[in-house]
Amino acid sequence: MTGLFTIAWRSLRNRWSTATLAVLAIAISVALILTVDQVRRDAKTAFVQTLSGTDLIVGARSGQVQLLLYSVFRIGNATNNMSWESAREIAARDEVEWTIPLSLGDSYRGYRVLGTNDDYFRHYTFGRERRLSLVAGLEFDDVFDAVLGSEVARELEHDIGDEIVIAHGTGSAGITRHENQPFRVSGILEPTGTPVDRTVHVSLEGIEALHVDWRSGMQVPGEGTPADVIRGMDLEPSEITAQLVGLKTRGTVFRVQRAINEYRQEPLLAILPGVALQELWGLVGAAETALLIVSAVVVLAGLINLISVLLSSLSERRREMAILRSAGASPGTIFRLLCLESSVLAIVGIVVGFLLHQVSVRLVEVLLRTRYGVDLPGRLPGAPELLLCLAILAAAIVTGAIPAWRAYRQSLSDGMTQRT
């Protein structure tokens, strides 16, 4: 068997160009299907772990996926706000243990600004009931204090005590800067792998302070109100974007949800994060299936390319086969030689494809983290990946048996033909 492997390896080395193409075809196929499968599963896990311990998300009436996206993932914007009075009434219900107010609408150099209160740091949990913690500094101690997510501090190179100027609006629309109300970095959060890392946190009073000199969405011309004067004002908000609700008993969740959805003072929507998440994945399910189908087709194309490479080389290798037969090789040996060659190509292709897969996953992780604040959980290859690689290897061996059988027949025919 060692001698047969040596012959196969030298034969492939002499045909390195066609062998390299076959290896690349298999490698790209393996990398694509492994990357799509891992990103699909890990992205869902990361989304599920973004928020935990919250029973309800409350906001102005819209769609539950939209409410989930802008309140938790900071994607998109609310069509309307809910009143602060309604938020306080919900917090005062007997079934409610805690609430976290959320106020969105501003940004800082492309990062979303979130207005909240101290309950955010006490009750917001992610992953397996992990709480937020500061790596440096303190929480809000002043109206103009800001707590940065880990990525904001790292990418913008901010430290405790730095001054930041928040812009009105989000994304490219955030062009009007609140120059008269600069904030001071008071704390930096530890990394969480969630959208929290990409968020600038300020107090609800800070959000109100930013808009003291604004009327009907427009800035009032003038020098603006000094910060010391603003600190002495009544900065209780009149409305917020959304509210996270934690209940004393999970058994009351549907009763509280129904009561909020039937709230008479204003149209509100209360959603269960898990149910909204399932609906979100239902919306992207078709694209997910399409990606898997495309990946399977690419794998099939790689196997077909392997067949074509082996078949196209058979006519060029008739002399090689004749020499092997004259040296005493049986047709069965020729068959095993071709099967061994296809197996070597498949194994090398799978190894290279696995390495490409690891690089691709790292790139996708960076994209998801920088664009959407979602961090894929890093992990070693598991049973699904190994089984998939074994399945591709088995398919490659079966595929390689087709040209091997043809070589077996040709070898037998050549061995029985009188050469002149």
Percentage of the chain exceeding pLDDT 90:
35
Which of residues 16 and 253 earns the better pLDDT score? 253
pLDDT in tens, 137-179: 999 989 999 999 999 999 999 999 999 999 877 754 445 777 7
| Residue 5 · residue 330 · CB < 8 Å | no
The residue ranking higher by pLDDT, 364 or 266, is 266
Q: Report pLDDT for 68.
A: 92
What is the average pLDDT score of the chain?
Answer: 81
> Which tops the pLDDT comparison, 315 or 225?
225
pLDDT tens, 36-63? Answer: 777 777 767 766 778 888 999 999 998 8
- What pLDDT is stored for residue 415 in this prediction? 46
C-alpha dist (Å) from residue 286 to 95, 138, 368: 39, 45, 20
Model confidence at 405: pLDDT above 60: yes
418 — pLDDT class (breaks 50, 70, 90)? very low
Main-chain phi, psi angles of 59, to 5 degrees:
-160, -175
Mean pLDDT of 249-264: 94
Angstrom distance (rounded) from CA 121 to CA 39: 30
pLDDT above 50: residue 419: no
Answer yes or no: is pLDDT of 311 > 70: no
Asked whether the predicted pLDDT for residue 349 surpasses 90, the reply is no
pLDDT at position 420 is 46
Q: Which segment of 169-178, 221-230, 237-246, 386-395 scores lowest on mean pLDDT? A: 169-178
310 — pLDDT class (breaks 50, 70, 90) = low
- E-strand spans in 127-273? 130-131, 134-137, 145-148, 163-164, 167-168, 176-177, 183-189, 199-203, 214-215, 218-219, 239-240, 242-247, 268-271
Q: Choose between 152 and 296: higher pLDDT.
A: 152
The percentage of residues in the chain with a pLDDT greater than 70, rounded to a whole number, is: 78
